[in-house]
Structures are given as structure tokens and as C-alpha cells.
Amino acid sequence: MTGERSLYAQLPAEISPEKLWWRRLFIRLGAWEYWPLFVFNIPTIGIWLWNAIKSRDLFFVTLTNPGIPYGGFFGASKSSIIAAIPKDFKPKSAAIPKGTTFEILQQKLEESGISFPVIAKPEVGERGWLIAKIQTGEELLAYVKAHPIDLIIQEYVDLPLELGVFVYMMPDGSGGAVSSICEKHFLQVQGDGRSSLGQLILSQDRAVLQYEKLRNQFGHRWEEVLAAGEILMLEPIGNHCRGTMFLDRNDQIDDTIKDQMIGLLKSMPGVYYGRFDLRTQSWETLKKGAEIRILEFNGTNSDVSHIFQPGYSLWTAYREIAFHWDIMHKIALKNRQLDHKSASFKEILAALVIYFRYKRTNR
């Protein structure tokens, strides 16, 4: 799937910044899935506060997953979260501490059996921040030099179906459910034998919102005419903020998928709520528990990704969010009964200062 085409298919490959600004405004006004995150989440603050009142604890979310620092709400280590997942479900990866020399980096990749292309990502981060698909050693060296922070290098998992699967259970193992499955369709264009690449990009609203990045990346091919039916992947990273289309595939949820995902969740001590981002060969392999690679696990900061399907009801989206915050609240109460303690205001404040300073200095 190449995404939505708009009324702009006949535009020239170049467009003035002023016209592009207005078009982007109308794109965002016309579809809430493109709203800025801080705008979309304004009602979520009320949902959080309501559940905090019920819990008598402003930071109850830090109790939902006691096995992850702060419940996975922010600042969690990706490698430590995924470490407990069985080896057969993980891509090959290597932790690259800040300051690692290129010689040691090469050695780590060889020891891990990782070959190019690779995915590089920060050890701490979210929503596709600084994630890159890297094709060569020279590109990797440039990436490491540009981002002198703790990193993770993963083998690129070339399986066709990428999903976000939301799963939860109570601390005693009861009440487990898969509550959301999102299928990800990467940002791409399909040639018609007449239009240039630049025109194809401008003909798709989703791509227009990524215009500067795409112009920089594909500028040398901007006037190239793609053959009819030829598909060009524009963005290989499956994040909504980077142009990926999220589709509601809750119709696929059944007992076999539930059993597979609850089993994976149970392999992670102290973790009861979150979203597995994974790749697999097909729906059949997912149900069989075969050819599954877990790319990441996100805790209490997880989006219920299927709500971002184009045309999804905004009211229904907030209802889904409210339902999942209520689940977090109920899990937190159970963990409190097991003598787990939520983070204090002082701990949260100190951690947030460190986290935002880290994000600000590593753009």
C-alpha cells in the first residue's frame, strides 16, 4: 500500500515553502491522526488525573510494571527491557556504550553475528527518535560520531509484516488479553511511468509532512520517473511520526495470538502491560509462534496504535485510551497489594530533569 493520494498529483516536483506550510496546516486540520502529540494528549491528562484520584497516587503508572524503571513511562533502557525475552524471538543485537571506538564497534558486531544493513537506535528513546537504517560501516561510523550516547545496533529484520501488539495481564497471571493489533504500512510511493519522484511525493499527504527529510534524502533522484508499478520505500522505520500508516487489525485477535503474546509477556519478570513491536513472516507464523522477532517492548508510555488508522473516530480513540489507563490503574492497585512502591515526586522530578537534559543535548 502506498498511502493516500490527494488532489495535488499534478503539482510540480518543487513547491514554495509558503504553499507547503498552508497545505500541511489543512492536512492536519483535516485528519486528527496528524495533530501534534501535545494537542492530541490534552484529554489524556484528564484521564490520567481521574485514574490518579481513584488510585490515590499521582504516579500510579510507575507501579504498573515494577520490573521496569518508572513502569516504562519514560527513560527506560531498551536492552534491559528486552533482555528477558527468549532468544529465539529477538534479533541479533549489540550494546554500544558511549565512547566505543570504531575498532571495538566492529568487534562487537562480529561477535554478535550482525551484518549490514543494521538498525541503530539510542539505548534510551521513544517514537522513532534517532533510529536509522544503516547500510555500510562508513555510515555507521558517521552515526556513532554524530550521536555520542549509549546505542543499540540490531540486525535488520527483513520480514514483511510489522505489527504493534498490545497485551496486558494482572500480576497473578489472570485477566490476560491482547487488546490491540496495529499493522504498519511503511511510507512509500508507486510509480506510474509519467510522474517524477518529487511529484509522487507531493501527491501524497503523508509524504508531504515529511517533505524536508525526503527532499534531503532523495534530492539526487527528485526528477527521476519511476516505472509504472515500481514501488520505492521512502522510510524504513515503522513510526507514525515518520510517515508510517497504522491500520487497525483487531479483527485478527484470537486465542492463538493471545496465547503467544501472553506467553512472551510472562517471560518478562515484573512486567504486565505494554506493546510488543515485532516483525513476522505472516499472520499464520504469528499464530504458530514461528518467525517472530521482537524489535522493542514499550511499557506504560505505549500508544494503542490501531487508533491511528486513517478515518478512525476521535471519540472512539479517547475511549480506547481511557480503557487502557483504567487497566494500568487496576494493575497498579494489585501491585500495591504485593507491597510494591510507586516512585516519589522527588524521584520523578530528578529523573525527568536528567531525561530531558539527555534529549536536549543529543538531538
- CB neighbour list of residue 218: distance below 8 Å, 6 or more residues apart: 197, 201, 234
What DSSP character marks residue 65?
Answer: -
pLDDT of residue 191: 94
298 strand-pairing partners: 275
d(CA 306, CA 312): 9
Using CA atoms, how far residue 331 sits from 21, 104, 361, in Å, is 44, 43, 35
- What is the C-alpha to C-alpha distance for residues 44 and 53, in angstroms, rounded to an integer? 14
Q: At what angle do helices 102-112 and 137-146 cross, to 10 degrees?
A: 120
Task: Find out if CATH 3.30.1490.20 is the number for domain 92-156.
Answer: yes
What pLDDT does residue 183 have? 96
**CA distances from residue 118 to 145, 152, 242, 243 in whole angstroms, order as listed:** 16, 10, 18, 20
Stretch(es) of the chain classified as CATH 3.30.470: 37-91+158-184+245-360
**Nearest to residue 184, comparing CAs of 211, 167, 165, 208?**
165
Please tell me the distance from the alpha carbon of residue 247 to that of residue 182, in angstroms, as a whole number: 5
What integer pLDDT is reported at residue 323 of this predicted model?
97
Give the whole-angstrom CA distance, residue 347 versus residue 304: 27
Domain with CATH 3.30.1490.20 in the chain: 92-156
Q: Yes or no: say if 165 and 287 are a contact pair by the CB < 8 Å rule.
A: no
**pLDDT for the residue 167:** 97
Residue 18: predicted pLDDT = 65
Give the three-class secondary structure for 116: coil
pLDDT at 170: 97
pLDDT value of residue 205: 92
State the 10-residue block means of pLDDT for the chain, 363 residues long: 42 61 89 92 95 93 90 77 86 84 83 88 74 87 84 90 96 94 95 92 92 90 93 89 94 95 93 95 92 91 93 96 97 94 82 66 57
Query: For residues 163 and 249, is the Cβ–Cβ distance under 8 A?
Result: yes
Topology of domain 37-91+158-184+245-360, CATH = D-amino Acid Aminotransferase; Chain A, domain 1 (3.30.470)
